[in-house]
Amino acid sequence: MAVVEVKGLTKRFDGGEVNAVDRLDLATEEGEYLVLLGPSGCGKTTLLRLIAGLEQPTAGEVLIGGEQVAGLPPRARKIAMVFQSYALYPHKTARRNIEFPLKAQGVKAAERAAKVTWAAELLGIAHLLDRRPRQLSGGERQRVALARALVREPSVFLLDEPLSNLDAKLRAAARDDLKQFQQRVGTTTIYVTHDQVEAMGMGDRIAVMSKGALRQVGTPQDVYDDPADTFVATFLGSPPMNIMERDHVLVGFRPESLLPKGVVEPDDGAITVPFTVERIEYLGAERHLIGTVQGIGGAAKARALLPSTVSVEVPAGETHDFVVREADLRFFDKQSTLKADRRRL
C-alpha cells in the first residue's frame, strides 16, 4: 500500500489563471526517497501543502496509508513537514523546539525528554540542545528542524528544499547526512528541490514537474536516459540535452555523446557530424565546447562535454569531425514534444 497517494489532485488559487497543481497522480512506495523536481513556481510546495493538509484541494484526493484524508487537519495526518525556512522558534532552545510538537500533543515530560534525546543522537546534535537557533549554523538548524519532525514518528516526511539556505560545500555534506539519516530511519520521504544534481544524487525515484503537472516519474537513470518529453530531457543534465529538428521530428543527444571522431571505437552506428567550435569552457574535470553542428538537422547550436581524460586538441574557431552514436539519439514529436517511437534517423 502506498504511504502517500494523490489522484487527480488539482489546486487553483483564487484569481489564478493556471492551476498551481493540475490533475496530478502520484504514489510513493514504502520507505522510498522520492524527489519532486521542477523549476521554481511549478507547484512543488503547493503539492506538499496539499498532502500535509495545509491547503485544501480544488479537486482530486489525497490518501495516506490507503485512507482518504479530506477534512483531516494536518496534525492528524501522521505527516511531518520541514520547511525551506526551517521555521524554528527563535526564542526557544533546540531542545524546546524539538519537543514542541510532543508538548502540543500532551506527551508527558519524561517521554518527551527520552524522544528528544533519541532524535538528537540520531542527528548528531545532542551537544547543541541548549542553544538557541541564532547560536547554530545553517546545517545545525536544519538538523534541529529534522529532529522536531522526527519526534512525531511520522509515516512520511515532506521536505521542502531544506538545503537551499546552505552554501555549496555544506549542501553536499548535508545531502549525504540527510540521505544516510533517511536510510537509518526508513521513513518514506518526499523531498522537494529545483536542483537536478541534488535530485539525481538523492532520489530513489524522481518525479519531474512542470506547470503543476507531472511529466515523468522514474529512477534517476530512467529520467536521464529515457526522458518522456523535451522538458525532462532539457531540465535534467548540465549542460542540457542538445535538441534539433530533422524531417519534422526533434532529435536529441546528450553533450557527452558528442565526441571527437577517433576518441570513440569505430562503430557502424556512429554518425559523423562536423562541429564548428565557437567557445570553450574549461571546468577542470571536463571541457564544454559550444558551437554549431551539421549533419543531423541543418546547422544547429550544440554543446559537447569532453571529460579531462579526452585530451584531443579542439581549438575554438575551427571545424572538426565529431561523432554521435545512433543508439544515443532520442526522438521527440515536434507538436506534443513527447517521446516518439522512432529510433533511427
Binding site for Mg ion (CB under 5 A): 45
20 interacts with ligand ADP by CB under 6 A = yes
DSSP E strand boundaries for 248-317: 249-253, 259-260, 270-282, 286-293, 300-307
Window of 12-20, 122-130, 163-171, 282-290 that interacts with ligand ADP by CB under 6 A: 12-20
Question: 39-46 contacts: CB < 8 A, separation 24 or more?
Answer: 39/194, 39/210, 39/235, 40/194, 42/209, 42/210, 42/211, 42/212, 43/11, 43/19, 43/209, 43/211, 43/212, 44/160, 44/192, 44/194, 44/209, 45/84, 45/160, 45/192, 46/11, 46/20, 46/21, 46/212
12 interacts with ligand ADP by CB under 6 A = no
> What radius of gyration, in Å, describes the C-alpha atoms of the chain?
24
- Beta bridge partners of residue 251, listed in sequence order: 244, 331
Three-state SS for 36? strand
Q: Least distance in Å: CB of 45 to Mg ion?
A: 3
- Residue 13 interacts with which of ligand ADP, Mg ion, none, CB < 5 to 8 Å by class: ligand ADP
Q: Which of 4, 9, 26, 42 binds ligand ADP (CB under 6 A)?
A: 42
Q: Least distance in Å: CB of 145 to ligand ADP?
A: 18
d(CA 271, CA 194): 34
Window of 43-51, 142-150, 175-183, 272-280 that interacts with ligand ADP by CB under 6 A: 43-51
Q: Least distance in Å: CB of 44 to Mg ion?
A: 5
Could you tell me the CA-to-CA distances from 48 to 16, 184, 295 in Å, in that order? 19, 23, 45
Strands 249-253 and 33-37: unpaired
Q: Least distance in Å: CB of 45 to ligand ADP?
A: 3
**Cβ proximity to Mg ion, 84 vs 234, nearer residue:** 84
Window of 37-45, 59-67, 148-156, 298-306 that interacts with ligand ADP by CB under 6 A: 37-45
**Cβ proximity to ligand ADP, 194 vs 254, nearer residue:** 194
Q: Least distance in Å: CB of 151 to ligand ADP?
A: 26
Q: Which of 3, 5, 26, 43 binds ligand ADP (CB under 6 A)?
A: 43
**Cβ proximity to ligand ADP, 40 vs 335, nearer residue:** 40
- Beta bridge partners of residue 7, listed in sequence order: 61
**DSSP secondary-structure letter at 161?**
S
Q: Which of 4, 5, 45, 199 binds ligand ADP (CB under 6 A)?
A: 45
Instruction: Tell me the one-letter amino acid at 311.
Output: S
Angle at 137 (CA atoms; ends 131, 138), nearest 5 degrees: 120
165 interacts with ligand ADP by CB under 6 A = no
Q: Least distance in Å: CB of 55 to ligand ADP?
A: 8
41 interacts with ligand ADP by CB under 6 A = yes
Contact call for residues 23 and 10 (beta carbons, < 8 A): yes
N residues, the chain: 345
Q: Which of 22, 26, 28, 44 binds ligand ADP (CB under 6 A)?
A: 44
Q: Which of 16, 186, 298, 307 binds ligand ADP (CB under 6 A)?
A: 16
Q: Which residues contact ligand ADP (rule: CB under 6 A)?
A: 13, 16, 20, 38, 40-46
